[in-house]
Amino acid sequence: MTIDIHVHPLSLDPNSLPGQFQIFENVGRRLGIDLFCLMGHVTVGGYDPTQRDVVRINDFTLRMVSERPDLFLGFCYLSPKHSERFMASEYRRCVEKGPLQGVKLWVSVCCTDPRLEPLMHWVSSSGVPILHHAWYKSVGHAFHESNPAQVAEWASRYPDVKIIMAHLTGAGVRGVLDVASCKNVFVDTSGSQPAAGILEYAVSVLGSERILFGSDAGGRDFSVQMARVQCARIGMRAKRRILGGNAAKLLKRAPFTMEAFR
Amino acid sequence: MNVLDMPVIDMNVSLGHWPFEPMRPQSGRQLKRHLENQGIVRAVVSSLDSVLYREPQWGNEALYRSAARYEGLFPCCVVNPSLPNWESVLMAGIEAGCRMVKLYPNYHQYELSHVAVDELVSSCERESLLIALSIRVEDERAHPAIMKVPATSIEGILGLAERWSERIFLVLCPTLAEVQRLAEKPNLVFEISHVEHLNSLATLFETVPSRRIVFGSHTPFLYTGAALAKLSDPAVSDADRRQVAFEVANRLLQMPGGHAML
């Protein structure tokens, strides 16, 4: 089973849904991707989304997952800048009572911000992972963008919460080393161009068990992002883990057998 | 042959060292084997060392002794027209069989409006040499703090294309957004290594026709196979795919015989 842990809807226009389903179906068939994990169309709300943006983004993810559970998983998008009450209601709606499998956080606040605390207790209780954007940028960070050292600091405070640090290429060598000792941190393969060598390095430092295939499409090309795993000089077993085995273990609530799809 | 079942000419390959990480392949022989394994029959190869050496010719000479010995690897000389010896570097490149000249205005720190650039273009015109303009070597966001190098100026490329409107220039490593800015100049041809979007090639064709696009992998910085994956886009016709894979490159390099030579 191959799982793309990091994709985004291509639009929030309900009329685009049949077309989007077709695109994901075709990509899945062509590249052998069985499930796409939706992180929400987060750019719609910008770096600092309103509560209304968050609800709209999650509504669409819920709709895609509900209509095509054979094709999609989804994470609940939240901004810790919003009130604890609002976050709790959205988390309950999407994850506790809904079908979403985890939480996606982007750049509205840094991951070390104390406003994440209640959320960390909820995900800890539910046993679902958080996917958090992170990047080392030499050109300056976007809004309250987190870097891998901050992810490591945050993750060490919550060792029982599984954290997926997005963007291996953005993390780079330093970022891989930052999170190496945090066994609860996983890294997805997305980010920037398909730079040669960084995946091999991450496997040598973290082990293939802590790396997940993520394309970050639609802003990226599925086939290019898949190729960065397929082209890496790592063993077939490691590739299988990265392409889906690790995600299947991490997302325990997903229907991970083909029988479940029929 | 590759998975595409057609010949592929790679117009953007480098060989040599980079101060921040080991580069593979490291020899002409290894590069030849690597490209053959990917199904790439011909490649235009330049010296990576020449990007940072104080005298680019040191790197060019090493390249002529290594890669140029292997059938299918075409040497390309790196010239810094802001140095007083650029003419002798160019002549040495012609003697070594170079069909293409590569410029790194950002790393060599000159403007494309520099008077020597026009003199170089004039010389290349006389010698029927293709000029390639490198926009970047690595994603600027990932540059080490000790060596931040902004991308080559898009306005500078537009100005050069305007002054030499009858002369073709190959632009290396542009992003899709940069191609969109440069596309207005019909004498600019683009390489695909940094163009990435959902259905990269099909999206690129919305801006420029296939007769202005060539295949380039930016090996060894990016996975060679990732660029090949772009060619497999099912939304692209076989005729367009052939143009990008080898036909345009053949024309640019003035290889008589075209496909038959491959």
CA distance A198 to chain B (A): 10
Write out pLDDT tens, residues B47-101. 999 999 999 999 999 999 998 889 999 999 999 999 999 999 999 999 999 999 9
Residues 110-169 of chain B whose Cβ lies under 8 A from any Cβ of chain A:
138-145, 148
Interface contact flag, B226 A10, Cβ < 8 Å: no
pLDDT of residue B260: 34
Domains of chain B, residue spans:
9-261
Q: Do A137 and B141 touch (CB under 8 A)?
A: yes
Angle of helix B115-126 versus helix B86-95 axis, rounded to 10: 20
Contact B198 A23 (CB under 8 A): yes
Whether B258 shows a pLDDT value over 50: the answer reads no
Q: Where are the domains of chain A?
A: 3-261
Specify whether the CB–CB gap between B104 and B93 falls below 8 A: no
CATH topology of domain A3-261: TIM Barrel (3.20.20)
pLDDT at B29 over 80: yes
Restricting to B residues 175-234, those with a Cβ less than 8 Å away from any Cβ of A are 193-194, 196-200, 218-230, 232-234
Instruction: Give the distance from residue B163's alpha carbon to the nearest chain A alpha carbon, in angstroms.
Output: 32
CA distances from A80 to A89, A151, A167 (A): 13, 15, 21
| Contacts with B89 (C-beta within 8 Å, 6 or more apart), sequence order | B56, B57, B60, B77, B79, B80, B83
Residue A259: half-sphere exposure toward Cβ, Cα within 13 Å: 0
Q: What is the pLDDT of residues A36-84, one digit of tens each?
A: 999 999 999 999 999 999 999 999 999 999 999 999 999 999 999 999 9
CB neighbours of B63 closer than 8 A, spacing ≥ 6?
A: B15, B16, B45, B46, B47, B50, B75
pLDDT of residue B257: 37
B130-134 and A211-212 beta bridge pairing? unpaired
pLDDT band at A254 (very low <50, low <70, confident <90, very high): low
> What is the model's pLDDT at position B3?
66
Are B139 and A195 in contact (CB < 8 Å)?
yes
Share of chain B above pLDDT 70, in %: 96
| Pick from A224, A228, A232: CB nearest B200 | A224
pTM: 0.94
**Fold classification of B9-261 (topology level):** TIM Barrel (3.20.20)
Q: What is the pLDDT of residues B174-213, one digit of tens each?
A: 999 999 999 999 999 999 999 999 989 999 999 999 999 9
pLDDT for A255 equals 53
Minimal Cβ distance to B197: which of A136, A221, A226 = A221
Q: What is the pLDDT of residue B149?
A: 97
A232–B139 C-beta distance less than 8 A: no
Can you give the pLDDT at residue A137? 94
Beta bridge partners of B214: B191
Residues of A in contact with B193 (CB under 8 A): 193
> Prior bond to B144 cis, omega within 30?
no
Model-level ipTM above the cut of 0.90: yes
Q: Please give, rounded to a whole number of angstroms, the shortest distance from the CA of A196 to a CA of chain B.
A: 5
Distance, in Å, from the CA atom of B190 to the CA atom of B175, rounded to the nearest integer, reads: 10
* Chain B residues near residue A11 by CB distance under 8 angstroms: none
Distance from CA of A256 to the nearest CA of B (A): 26
Query: B256 versus B186: which is more confidently predicted?
Result: B186
Q: What is the pLDDT of residue B69?
A: 87
Determine which of A213, A221, A229 to mutate to test the interface with B (most B C-beta atoms within 10 Å): A221
pLDDT for res B259: 35
**What's the rounded Cα separation, in Å, for the pair B86 and B37?**
36
Instruction: Please state, rounded to an integer, the average pLDDT across all residues of chain A.
Output: 95
Indicate the residue of B143, B148, B196 with minimum beta-carbon distance to A220.
B196
